[in-house]
Structure 1
Amino acid sequence: MSKRRVVVTGIGMLTPLGIDLNSSWEGLTQGRSGIGPITAFDATEFSVRFGGGVPDFDVAPYIPIKEARRMDGFIQYGLVAGIHAMRDSGLDITDSNRRR
């Protein structure tokens, strides 16, 4: 078994409470719920009609729309959360450390 270490240097979040770390954290600390009626599709045929969607999500500032159209929403969420985590980390990505 490998004993490689992982260091978390940044956090990225897209949650029902907000589309970034600050708004999600604020919602958590204020005890808000991100759960509500499902509006992304018609859920009337399902027994459960409540869920937690990501409000006001716009992928355009992060991923070219042409590419985003070919991705499922959960992939878009993951990529944007990763971008937020990289920005939060404060890491300076250069040619010498790009592949690490």
Structure 2
Amino acid sequence: MTKRRVVVTGMGMISPLGNSVAETWRNILAAKSGIAMIDRFDVSEFATRIGGAIKNFDIAEYMSAKEAKRFDPFIHYGVAAAEQALTDSGIEVTE
């Protein structure tokens, strides 16, 4: 296995505790939980009815509605977190 150096230059986060690193960290420090009753779909057929869902997330901040329709929500979260990390890094993409 080749050893590769990895440098973290920025952070981004979409989580049940918040839609940014700062919001998530504030909620962790406040001992809040992102776990709640699942209300996005019918869970009556499942043994578990609680989970950690992403709340108050607006994909329009990161891509157009046309683009968003092409992707599942987990892709939306990844794109948003990656864009936050890029912004946090201060790196300017010119190409």
**TM-score normalised according to structure 2 size:** 0.93
Tell me, in whole angstroms, the C-alpha distance in 2 between the residues paired with 1:37 and 1:3. 43
**Superposed structure 1 runs of 4+ greater than 3 Å apart:** none
Tell me, in whole angstroms, the C-alpha distance in 1 between the residues paired with 2:3 and 2:94. 26
Number of the residue aligned with 1:81: 81
Number of the residue aligned with 2:92: 92
Structure 2 gaps, min length 5: none
Tell me, in whole angstroms, the C-alpha distance in 1 between the residues paired with 2:62 and 2:26. 23
Number of the residue aligned with 1:39: 39
Number of the residue aligned with 1:72: 72
CA RMSD of aligned residues (A): 1.1
- 1:9 matched to 2:33: no
Higher helix proportion (structure 1 or 2): 2
Tell me, in whole angstroms, the C-alpha distance in 1 between the residues paired with 2:51 and 2:22. 22
Q: Residues 37-95 of structure 1, C-alpha deviation per residue, up to 9 Å, x if partnerless? A: 00111111111000000110110121111111111111110011000000111112234
Tell me, in whole angstroms, the C-alpha distance in 1 between the residues paired with 2:44 and 2:15. 24
Aligned residue type for 1:24 = T
Identity between Structure 1 and Structure 2 (%): 47
Tell me, in whole angstroms, the C-alpha distance in 2 between the residues paired with 1:79 and 1:88. 14
Alignment of 1:56-67 (within 5 A): 56-67=56-67
Cα offset, 1:16, TM superposition: 0.6
**TM-score normalised according to structure 1 size:** 0.88
Number of the residue aligned with 1:98: none
